Amino acid sequence: MPSATGKEFLQPSSHQEVVELLVKYGDRALVVGGGTFLHGLLARGVLHQLDVLVDLQNTGLSYVKQERDALCIGATTTFAELAVSERVQNKPELGAVLDALQYPPAQIRNMATVGGCVASATPLFDLPVAFMVLDSSVKAIGPKGAREIGLHKFYLDYFEHVLERTELLTETALPVRQRLLETGNQRQRSSSAERSSARHAGRKGNLPRCAGRGGWRNRQSAGARRVL
């Protein structure tokens, strides 16, 4: 199917088919998740080097599921879908992820995919940073099979990552270890104690202050504070 850019627009039905297309077309193919980045590439004249756009929407990679000790997010899961998932709601340890999902406008959240955000290696995006803080990893598949890559080793530079041209990022995995849950519970207890202490100090008229403009600021993420 011809696309609006004059390129061939292909819609494979599985990630294996995507890999086959990447092997066939190489540098002349571009994988498309939500497509929110296409306009910027087109405006900068980057797409003229491509012959094929490979759409991932029919590959079955939209999901949020728990597997053993990890929360697994499929590559085509949108920001909006992840934000409303019960797997991430009301979890203080994932507060930074929820915050990062709220920054783009609604139109972008409804279309932008988690995998596209991570794989673009764009330094302006907040979500990969939140994932890195949680010691997350990504899963990729290529002609040589599947592999898992720690996110802290995934990026080489701005707009550069370690994936080969024939590899496809299929999933982001967030470790849900007991230590993360314990950290969240500890912060909840600490927050409750701080609120109690602040109320007690306030009644005595000696509420602690900070010299900075705007007074004392809570340094927890907004998402975590809402839960706590």
Instruction: Give residue-wise pLDDT tens across range 189-219.
Output: 545 444 444 444 444 444 333 334 444 344 4
pLDDT tens by residue, 21-72: 999 999 999 999 998 878 777 777 777 788 999 999 999 999 999 998 899 9
| pTM of the predicted model as reported, rounded to 2 decimal places | 0.75
Burial track 181-220 (b if 16+ CB lie within 10 A, e otherwise): eeebeebeeebeeeeeeeeeeeeeeeeeeeeeeeeeeeeb
Q: Is 106 exposed, middle or buried (0-12, 13-18, 19+ CB in 10 A)?
A: exposed
Q: Class of the 61-178 domain? A: alpha beta
Q: Over pLDDT 70: what percentage of the chain?
A: 74
Query: What pLDDT score was predicted for residue 41?
Result: 75
The set of residues, in sequence order, having a beta carbon less than 8 Å from that of 102 and lying 6+ positions away, is 83, 109, 223
Comparison of pLDDT for 85 and 220, the residue scoring more:
85
* Residue 224: predicted pLDDT: 53
- Rounded (to 5) percent helix, strand, coil in the chain: 40, 20, 40
Q: Is 162:156 a contact under the CB 8 Å cutoff?
A: yes
- Count the residues in the chain: 228
Mean pLDDT to the nearest integer, 66-88: 95
Poorest-confidence range of 44-48, 51-55, 144-148, 223-227?
A: 223-227
pLDDT at 225 over 70: no
